[in-house]
Homo-oligomer: A and B are copies of this chain.
Amino acid sequence: MASPKQVFIAIIGAGGVGKCFLSQLEALATRRPSPKLNLIYISTSKKALYDAKYTPTPFASAIEELSRASQAPPALPQLAEYLAAAPAKVVLVDNTSSQDVADAYPVFLGKGISIVTPNKKAFSGSYKLWQDIFSAASTSGAKVYHESSVGAGLPVISTLKDLVDTGDRVTKIEGVFSGTMSFLFNSFAPTSGAGGKWSAEVAKAKELGYTEPDPRDDLNGLDVARKLTILARLAGLPVESPTSFPVQSLIPKELESCSSGDEFLQKLPGFDSQMEETKAAAEKQGKVVRFVGSIDVASKQVKVGLEQFDASHPIAALKGSDNIISFYTERYGSNPLIVQGAGAGGDVTAMGVTADLIKVLGQIA
């Protein structure tokens, strides 16, 4: 028998974000006894922990029990059947960055399974997938929240939704949407002048763990393009895909074919003069160069790439690996609504997921 005060949690993904999320979930369940949260499914790409009776696994020991599990995860359609047959409402938490899982969201949502996730792929893939996701949710009443798909735990998606839902007209969104790019340019072209060589800053960022294993996965701009796609769609623009608008790649053409990130890093110093010129050109105007994304809603223009800013501009004054997102709207006039802070990292990403889960619980439990 379903109890109204019990909600089942299913988690796909147990990496950095997944572990932080589990720890936040454990604390949440301790602080808030109602609704009772039962972890009835958790999987990596290799293994899954679940049984036919929906036996809950304690949050605290889930990672360890999963590591000892011997089952492979079921195919996604089977997982959807399994969760849909559960004797309580289910929230699926997708802590992966998998396109396959994202593609299956309409199936889960169509069966009444709510989803919370930091996975950008579902919302920045084809526009058809976007439409399928929200129409499945709307038909079944299942909820789908993805705050951490842009700016991690920063209130970006929720703020944009509030602006749109209350009838404000968003005219422009602009910002630094990548922690890696933020760190690179704050070090390479600080407002105080100086700054290191471009290739040295990239190598340093990689050493500090601020880049993907292959830094080209940050430098190609696709991560920022995905985030812009999500925000543009929420603002009402039917952007077809993250490759349907201009995205400037910072990978020199000659290095696109390097067989590894290491080879790329080794050869990058040979191209420092290009970035040095870009920086000097900005300095000549009394400005600094930054890697930004912008959405001009009226002219329907979305773009990602290098731009110049006065040293006093909030985008130029950013620190460390912080993100900054400025919402220009009719109501807010010439001074935008600005959200700023760490936009990457396991804990803050998981925070966005946990906050989303709390919102979903408030609506379904």
Interface of A toward B, CB cutoff 8 Å? 24, 27-28, 31, 153-155, 158-159, 162-163, 165-168, 312, 314, 317, 319-320, 322, 327, 331-342, 345, 347-348, 350-351, 354-355, 358, 362-363
Q: Is the CB of A166 within 8 A of B335?
A: no
Bound form: Cα–Cα A334–B322 in Å: 11
Q: Is the CB of A354 within 8 A of B312?
A: no
Q: Is the CB of A355 within 8 A of B166?
A: yes
Contacts of A337 in B (CB 8 A): 153-154, 339-342
Instruction: Look across to chain B and name the residue whose beta carbon is closest to the beta carbon of A311.
Output: B312
Contacts of A351 in B (CB 8 A): 162-163, 166, 168, 331
Q: Which of B335, B358, B362 contacts A319 (CB 8 A)?
A: B335
Q: Which of B31, B317, B335 contacts A322 (CB 8 A)?
A: B335
Instruction: Look across to chain B and name the residue whose beta carbon is closest to the beta carbon of A360.
Output: B362
Contacts of A27 in B (CB 8 A): 167
Q: Is the CB of B165 within 8 A of A355?
A: yes
Could you say which of A153, A158, A312 has the most chain B C-beta atoms within 10 Å of its C-beta?
A: A153
Q: Which secondary structure characterizes the binding site on chain A? A: mixed
Instruction: Look across to chain B and name the residue whose beta carbon is closest to the beta carbon of A161.
Output: B355
Q: A28-B165, A314-B314, A331-B348 are in contact. List 5 more A-B contacts (CB 8 A).
A: A153-B166, A162-B358, A166-B355, A317-B317, A322-B335
Bound form: Cα–Cα A354–B304 in Å: 33
Q: List 15 A-B contacts (CB under 8 A).
A: A27-B167, A28-B165, A28-B167, A162-B358, A166-B350, A167-B354, A319-B335, A322-B335, A331-B348, A331-B351, A332-B342, A338-B339, A338-B341, A340-B340, A362-B362
Q: Which of B319, B336, B354, B362 contacts A166 (CB 8 A)?
A: B354
Q: Which of B332, B348, B354 contacts A341 (CB 8 A)?
A: B332
Question: Given contacts A24-B167, A317-B314, A337-B342, is CB(A347)–CB(B363) below 8 Å?
Answer: no
Q: Is the CB of A162 within 8 A of B167?
A: no
A82 to chain B, nearest CB (A): 28
Q: Which of B162, B341, B350 contacts A355 (CB 8 A)?
A: B162
Contacts of A153 in B (CB 8 A): 162, 166, 331, 337
Contacts of A163 in B (CB 8 A): 351
Instruction: Look across to chain B and name the residue whose beta carbon is closest to the beta carbon of A340.
Output: B338
Could you say which of A163, A166, A335, A347 has the most chain B C-beta atoms within 10 Å of its C-beta?
A: A166
Q: Is the CB of A159 within 8 A of B155?
A: yes
Q: Is the CB of B347 within 8 A of A341?
A: no
Could you say which of A153, A334, A341 has the most chain B C-beta atoms within 10 Å of its C-beta?
A: A341
A165 to chain B, nearest CB (A): 6
Could you say which of A162, A168, A335, A348 has the most chain B C-beta atoms within 10 Å of its C-beta?
A: A162
Contacts of A334 in B (CB 8 A): 320
Bound form: Cα–Cα A165–B356 in Å: 11
Instruction: Look across to chain B and name the residue whose beta carbon is closest to the beta carbon of A347.
Output: B331
